[in-house]
Amino acid sequence: MSTSMKDKIVFVTGASAGIGAATAMEFARHGARLLLCARRMERLQAMEPALREAGAAEVLPVALDVRYRGAVERVWHDLPESWRPVDVLVNNAGLSRGLSKFHLDDVENWEEMIDTNIKGLLYITRTVLPGMVERNRGHIINLGSIAGHMAYANGGVYCATKAAERFITDGLRIDLNGTAIRVTTVDPGMVQTDFSKVRFRGDEERAAKTYQNVDPLQPEDIADVIVWAATRPPHVDIQTVLLTPTAQANPFVLTRRG
């Protein structure tokens, strides 16, 4: 029997766009209570009516930049007690900056990726997980990447942050063995989101070329996998899902039409 998400508290980070927003919508269709955080509060608030219409039991948007441990602690401290027993944590907040050779790259790009993709995941998980352990229930779903399995040119630091996510996830699963808490990493290949636009700091023309003449994954595809993993029977832990567009074999092999 699958696990019902009705009235379960689902905490999604980076929920204002892309995979995070699609994940929030898919959990809304399952009747979940949605705790959503992102840096852009106005986007979260704009999403709220559609999420409620889709079936979300409740929606609580929270402005939060996961890079800052103090901010994470303050938000958690100020959270209403009724929202703290998180059932599913989706660590989605993440980004890539730049696509340059290591010796030419901007160190600030590295700082932002490490602070968001690794430290942000750690801060949020360390805050939420003790309650899961105390209640002996919960599910942590981390967003990884095909880049965490194989490095590619000009992206070594980003790839390293996603490799770190993969090993943190594996370590969590080992540390939590013997509890009823499940741990999953969902690792997509090419997904058409603002990812490339963020990587190239708003250069829409350059970002568009990333997806030219290919049918990439869509955010809804990833959301579908996330919710599928969360709704498996309690004795089933989907450890790792690596998914790509049919046109993509790995970070280096991608067939474009024409």
Distance of CA 129 to CAs 67, 71, 133, 171, 205, Å? 18, 17, 6, 14, 41
- Burial of residue 42 (number of CB atoms within 10 Å: 0-12, 13-18, 19+): exposed
Which position among 68, 123, 152, 158 bears the catalytic label?
Answer: 158
* 68 counts as catalytic: no
Alpha-carbon span 9 to 23, nearest angstrom: 13
Distance of CA 126 to CAs 109, 178, 186, Å? 25, 18, 20
Catalytic residues, which ones? 158
